[in-house]
Amino acid sequence: MNLPELVVFGEALTDFIREDDQHWRSASGGSCWNVARVGARLGVPTGFAGTVSHDTFGDKLMVQSAQAGLDMRFTRQVERPPLLAMVVSKHPPQYFFIGDNSADLAFDANALPSGWLEAAKIVHFGSLSLVRDPLAEHLLDIAQAAHAAGKRISFDPNYRDLMASPGYRPTLRRMAELASYIKVSDEDLRGLFPELDEAQALAKLRSWAPTADILVTRGAAGMALLTSDEELFQPAFAAQVVDTVGCGDACVGGWIASLISRPDAPQASHLRFSAACAAVACAQQGAYAPTTDEVAILTGSSGPFINSHN
């Protein structure tokens, strides 16, 4: 069995979402895990390099990982508590995490399949995992090793309140310096750079990553792709918005998948595909991973936008 072309490092967790005063709903999630599922569902051989609990929550994550087509050699279960996200309110966002000594922190790079780095085309990092030590330190080391090996790094900060700590800024800067591809939302920019307006925040990010392609998403206002020599705009696709959870993950997952599968396609085509993935995801409940057929319907393509590797 071949090793994957996309390897995603980070957290998988279980969301507990407050429906009303009496009811909570659980759902498997985690930004990096969502991105990995998107890549796999779009036909790109993908591994999620993370660790989950050996209980009902971890079992569900493992089942859903396999169902998405992820390479299960990259995901381990350990005898530790699960990482939980308690979503008290979606609008406005109000949440907290329960994760003292949780499974995600038990990640062991030595357990990864031999030769994974040589086989990978893009290695993705981001979100909560980069602010939770000792995991963050391990992942930064891996990102630096991957960059030194000539691999392309994808980075989605995916702002969370924990990143407001001054201690996160050096990690943010280093990951931006290593990255070939950076995805940020307008909300991310406000959280990551509260002292700056959006233009100033993007200028700061560009100063750290002068050659990176930067994808900036603005919800219903569309998205822009900023390269070192051009700026492209993509309007949002018209969609029935059911749930915005996971739209950003679908966006960056679709972008990466398109870059891997169609390396000779123009930048505007990758951007359009990314926007279509986000639109498909927001029309579904929860963090949905779109398929190539669903995206092709939305873009008007006559067939799958990405050639399946399966």
Report the pLDDT value the prediction gives residue 310, as an integer from 0 to 100: 35
Give the span between the Cα atoms of 110 and 122, in whole angstroms: 20
Average pLDDT over residues 180-187: 97
Tokens of 124: 């993705």
Provide the whole-model pTM. 0.93
Work out the angle between the directed axes of helices 56-68 and 31-41 (0-180°, nearest 10): 30
Range of the domain at 224: 6-299
- 221 pLDDT above the threshold of 90: yes
Is residue 305 a part of any domain in this protein? no
Whole-angstrom distance, CA of residue 143 vs CA of residue 268: 27
In angstroms, rounded to a whole number, what is the distance separating the alpha carbons of residues 72 and 64?
11
Within-domain flag for 43:
yes
Number of domains in the chain: 1
For residue range 261-284, list pLDDT tens digits in order: 999 999 999 999 999 999 999 878
**Tokens of residue 26, six digits:** 């659980």
Centroid of chain to Cα 300: 26
Mean pLDDT value of segment 162-188: 95
Cα gap 6→252, rounded to integer Å: 13
Question: What are the strands, taking DSSP E only, across 219-274?
Answer: 223-226, 231-234
Mean pLDDT value across residues 125-131? 96
Is residue 184 assigned to a domain?
yes
Whether residue 121 is contained in a domain is answered as yes
- Tens of pLDDT, residue by residue over 37-88, are 999 999 999 999 999 999 999 999 999 999 999 999 999 999 999 999 998 8
Q: How long, in residues, is the chain?
A: 310
The answer to whether the beta carbons of residues 282 and 245 sit under 8 Å apart is no
In 140-272 the beta strands, taken as DSSP E runs, fall at 152-156, 181-185, 213-217, 223-226, 231-234
pLDDT of residue 30 exceeding 90, the answer is yes
| pLDDT band at residue 147 using 50, 70 and 90 as cut-offs | very high
Decide if 307 is inside a domain. Answer: no
pLDDT at 245: 76
Contact 309, 3 (CB under 8 A): no
- Whether residue 310 is contained in a domain is answered as no
The confidence band for 301, taking pLDDT boundaries of 50, 70 and 90, is low
Q: What is the mean pLDDT of residues 228-247?
A: 86
pLDDT at 242: 78
Residue 306, domain member (yes or no): no
Is 309 domain-assigned? no
Q: How far apart (Å, rounded) are the C-alpha atoms in residues 284 and 282?
A: 5
Q: What is the DSSP letter of 163?
A: G
The percent of residues above 70 in pLDDT, for the chain, comes to 97
Q: Using CA of residue 249, residue 184, residue 99, residue 140, what is the dihedral sign?
A: positive
Query: What is the CATH number for 234?
Result: 3.40.1190.20
Sheet strands (E) in the chain: 6-9, 13-18, 24-29, 46-53, 75-78, 84-89, 94-98, 122-126, 152-156, 181-185, 213-217, 223-226, 231-234
